[in-house]
Structure formats: structure tokens, C-alpha cells
């Protein structure tokens, strides 16, 4: 694969995903989206993603960008409803801020790219930030800063590749997903392309991590001893 030749297309896809997956209240949130769609429709990765891209364009033609914003909120931000989790830490450890976030922050520190905390409120290891980060790295590489090639490889292999399959599946299956169901198809095709680009395979399915809630009860040392003694007596069973 000629990596230099395909980098502009990769940048386009990551930029497109950024517009679709980053929460924003900005009026120009989706600027350039339709132009990107037209280019990708003309040069699709496969037949399924080609149809999915056409579906996204049709959704926009019928309902405007408002339909995207409303569906995004229903899938990712609906209070009290089942939402699709977006952080690598959640899929790795079952928490929203964990080792994967630290890893991404370490990658970020090796670049001059910085998170705009006023506009971007989510964690560094969330899907929206990751695709935006990759887009920015590719743009720097295209401009000749080859030192970032290793960093983009590490970001994909160690972070993105590890959880995007599960994220895409959850997005596709969400009951509120319509246009975002089509996006999931595009994401899946692009993920496979990126694995070819970086010469890596799909990771093995990991055992689901479930974090147990810790008790907030505070007891004295004497009470703890009493409970331990009672537990021991119960374990011995009734005396005959």
C-alpha cells in the first residue's frame, strides 16, 4: 500500500467522523460534511459503505443537519436512557477515566496539538476526540512532519483498534440509531481499511469488565470485628 497516496483520503474520513462524533453547540458544527460525503460516495471503500454514505446524505437532504444533532443527543446524551458509551477507558476497564485516557494524554503531550477545553468537554480517550486527533496527525504528516507516523501507529494500535469494534456494534444496535446506523457501517469499513494500513489484526474479544460499586459505609474497628465474628459463626453452622 502506498501510504503517502492514501493519507489525504484517510484525513478526509477522520475529518468526516469528527464532525459526526464530536459534541458541539456551534452553528458550523457540520460545515463541509456534505462536500466530504460527495467525495466519499464517488470513491467508496466497499459496496456496503457506499450505500450507507448515500443513506446519510439522504437523511440530511430530508431533515437537514438538525436530524443529525437530535439523533446524536438521543444516542449519546439522553438523560435516564440507555446511551452508547464512547471512551476507550470504559470499554477497557468499565470506568470513564482510566488507563487509556492517561495513554492518550501522553500521546498528546508528544505533539503540539492541544485539546480546546472550552469547546471540547469530553475526555481525551472518547471516540470524538480520538478521530479528531488522528485527523490532525495525518494532516501534519501530509505537510511533511514524518515524525508523527510512529505516533499515529501507536494511537491506532494501542487505543482505537482495541475498542472500536464494540463501539460500532453498540452504535449500530442502538434503538434510536437511523442515520448513525448508516455511520456505523461506514466506520466498520474504514476500521478494516485502517487495519490494512497499519498491518494489524482485529483484537481478540476481551472478557467484559464490570466494576462493582464500592460501599460508602464507614464502620468502627470494633464493629468490623463483631461482624467478622458473626460471619465466622454462621460459617460453622448450628451446633448439635
Give the chain's radius of gyration (CA, Å): 22
pLDDT band at 112 (very low <50, low <70, confident <90, very high): confident
Task: Provide φ and ψ at 119, rounded to 5°.
Answer: -100, -30
Is the CB of residue 183 less than 8 Å from the CB of residue 68? no
Give the model's pLDDT for residue 214.
45
Full residue range of the structural domain in which residue 36 is found: 3-212
The answer as to whether 229 is a domain residue is: no
Q: What percent of the chain has pLDDT over 90?
A: 72
Distance between first and last Cα of the chain: 78
| CATH code of the domain covering residue 180 | 1.10.3480.10
The structure's pTM equals: 0.83
Q: What is the number of structural domains in the chain?
A: 1
Domain assignment of residue 172, yes or no: yes
Whole-Å CA distances, 106 to 89, 99, 100, 117, 162:
14, 11, 10, 17, 17
Q: Is residue 237 one of the residues assigned to a domain?
A: no
**Residue 215 pLDDT greater than 50, yes or no:** no
pLDDT value at 188 more than 90: yes
**Does a structural domain hold residue 226?**
no
What are the tens digits of pLDDT across the range 42-53? Answer: 999 999 999 999
- Per DSSP, the three-state class of 223 is helix
DSSP of 142-153, one letter per residue?
HTT-TTHHHHHH
Residue 218 has pLDDT above 50, yes or no: no
Amino acid at each position: 500500500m502506498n501510504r503517502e497516496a492514501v493519507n489525504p483520503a484517510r484525513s478526509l474520513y477522520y475529518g468526516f467522523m469528527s464532525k459526526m462524533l464530536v459534541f458541539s453547540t456551534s452553528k458550523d458544527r457540520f460545515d463541509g460534511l456534505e462536500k466530504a460525503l460527495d467525495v466519499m460516495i464517488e470513491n467508496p471503500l466497499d459496496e456496503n459503505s457506499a450505500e450507507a454514505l448515500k443513506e446519510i446524505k439522504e437523511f440530511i437532504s430530508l431533515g437537514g443537519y438538525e436530524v443529525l444533532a437530535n439523533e446524536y443527543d438521543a444516542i449519546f446524551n439522553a438523560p435516564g436512557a440507555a446511551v452508547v458509551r464512547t471512551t476507550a477507558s470504559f470499554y477497557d476497564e468499565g470506568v470513564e477515566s482510566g488507563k487509556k485516557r492517561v495513554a492518550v494524554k501522553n500521546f498528546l503531550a508528544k505533539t503540539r496539538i492541544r485539546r480546546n477545553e472550552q469547546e471540547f468537554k469530553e475526555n481525551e480517550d472518547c471516540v470524538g476526540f480520538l478521530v479528531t486527533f488522528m485527523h490532525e496527525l495525518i494532516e501534519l504528516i501530509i505537510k511533511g512532519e514524518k515524525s508523527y507516523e510512529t505516533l499515529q501507529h501507536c494511537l491506532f494500535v494501542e487505543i482505537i483498534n482495541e475498542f472500536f469494534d464494540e463501539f460500532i456494534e453498540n452504535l449500530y444496535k442502538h434503538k434510536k440509531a437511523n442515520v448513525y446506523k448508516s455511520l456505523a457501517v461506514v466506520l466498520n469499513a474504514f476500521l478494516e481499511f485502517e487495519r490494512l494500513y497499519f498491518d494489524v489484526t482485529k483484537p481478540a474479544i476481551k472478557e467484559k469488565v464490570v466494576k462493582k460499586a464500592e460501599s460508602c459505609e464507614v464502620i468502627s474497628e470494633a464493629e468490623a470485628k463483631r461482624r467478622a465474628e458473626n460471619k465466622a459463626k454462621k460459617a460453622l453452622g448450628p451446633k448439635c
